[in-house]
Chains A and B, each alone.
Chain A
Amino acid sequence: MLPLSLLKTAQSHPMLVELKNGETYNGHLVSCDSWMNINLRDVICTSKDGDRFWRMPECYIRGSTIKYLRIPDEVIDMVKEDAQAKSRNRTEMNKNRGGNSSQNQRGGRPGGGNRNNVGNRPGQGYGGPANNAMRLGGAGGQGNRLPHAAKNRK
Chain B
Amino acid sequence: MDDLNPLAGTAHLLEEVDKKLMVLLRDGRTLIGYLRSVDQFANLVLQRTIERIHVGNEYGDIPRGVFIIRGENVVLLGEIDREKEQKLPLKEVSVDEILDAQRREQEQRQEKHRLVSKALKERGLAVDANIINEDFC
Contact = CB atoms under 8 A, between A and B. Distances in A.
A154 B105 CA distance: 10
A4 interface: yes
Interface string A8-38: 0000000000001110000000000000100
Nearest to B45: A3
A75 B66 CA distance: 9
A76 to B, nearest CB: 6
Contact of B137 (A20, A68, A73, A142): A20
A29 B73 CA distance: 21
Nearest to A68: B69
Give the bracket for the number of chain B residues in contact with chain A: 20 to 34
A149 interface: yes
Interface residues of A, number: 25
B135 A22 contact: yes
A68 B70 contact: yes
B30 interface: no
B64 A3 contact: no
A20 B67 CA distance: 15
Contacts of A72: 65-66
A91 B38 CA distance: 27
A68 B45 contact: no
A104 B135 CA distance: 67
A70 B64 CA distance: 8
A136 interface: no
A65 to B, nearest CB: 9
Given A1-B37, A76-B36, A152-B62, A6 B136 contact: no
B18 interface: no
Interface of B: 25-27, 36-39, 43-45, 47, 62, 64-70, 73, 95, 99, 102-103, 106, 135-137
Closest 10 pairs (CB-CB, A-B) = A3-B43, A68-B69, A69-B68, A2-B39, A67-B73, A3-B45, A66-B70, A71-B66, A3-B68, A21-B137
